[in-house]
Structure 1
Amino acid sequence: MQDIFDGSLRDKFFEILFYADKNIVSNELDKIFEELIAMREICEQKGISNTEILSFKSTNPQGLQDGLNDLYIGLSGEILSQNE
């Protein structure tokens, strides 16, 4: 039996995606994509360029990794709670 804590959060997230109900996964990914689109529109309205976004990403790698980990945990929880 594989330990639930083995591997990275990213690995566990993709394992959950693989085994979870396809409709649940699709719905949760749609929510993320809608949020991404909204954020892109807001950035465009506020005059935030792609260059500024790339600069932020390159100067804040740990913040991005922490955010990704939070996203993996949150999405995994949403998918697992609906997949029971």
Structure 2
Amino acid sequence: MDFFDENKSPKDKFFEIVFNANRNLVIEELEELIKRMAALEILAEECFGDEVDQKINEIIFNKLDELEETETDLYIDTMAKILTKNE
């Protein structure tokens, strides 16, 4: 398992780590991600009400590059947290 393989995307490396790292550490990090997503969902509903889905779709359609950069950052950040705790 080569986490530094430059031919793999951050997404590929993320899933490789998730499937091979200590299960308890992975669960812990995934729970933190879900907690953060839940908080962001509440925040979005407070800010946009019934228009949350519409706003999300606008971001997906109009800011795809920024969305993909943020996804990559999240993959990398989560991998780093798992690997740091796994050592």
Give your verdict on TM over 0.5. yes
One-letter amino acid of the structure 1 residue matched with residue 44 of structure 2: C
Q: 2:57 aligns with which of 50, 54, 58?
A: 54
Q: 1:73 aligns to what?
A: 76
**Cα shift at 1:46:** 1.3
**Structure ranking higher on relative contact order (CA contacts 8 Å, 6+ apart):** 1
Give the TM-score, by structure 2 length: 0.88
CA distance in 2, matches of 1:47, 1:13: 32
Superposed CA RMSD in Å reads 1.5
The percent identity for this pair of structures is 31
Cα shift readout 1:33-77 (whole Å, capped 9, x = no counterpart):
001100110111112521111111111110011001100110000
SS for the counterpart of 1:47 is helix
TM-score normalised according to structure 1 size: 0.91
Runs of at least 4 residues off by over 6 Å: none
Specify every segment of 5 or more residues in structure 2 that has no aligned partner in the other structure, as ranges: none
Structure with greater helix percent: 2
Separation in 1, partners of 2:48, 2:29 = 29
Instruction: Give the distance between the partners of 1:53 and 1:13, measured in 2 at CA.
Output: 24
1:80: how far off? 0.4
Q: CA deviation at 1:4?
A: 2.1
Q: How many residues align?
A: 84
List aligned pairs for 1:1-84, cutoff 5 A.
Answer: 4-48=5-49, 49=51, 50-84=53-87
Aligned-partner Cα distance in 2 for 1:53–1:28: 24
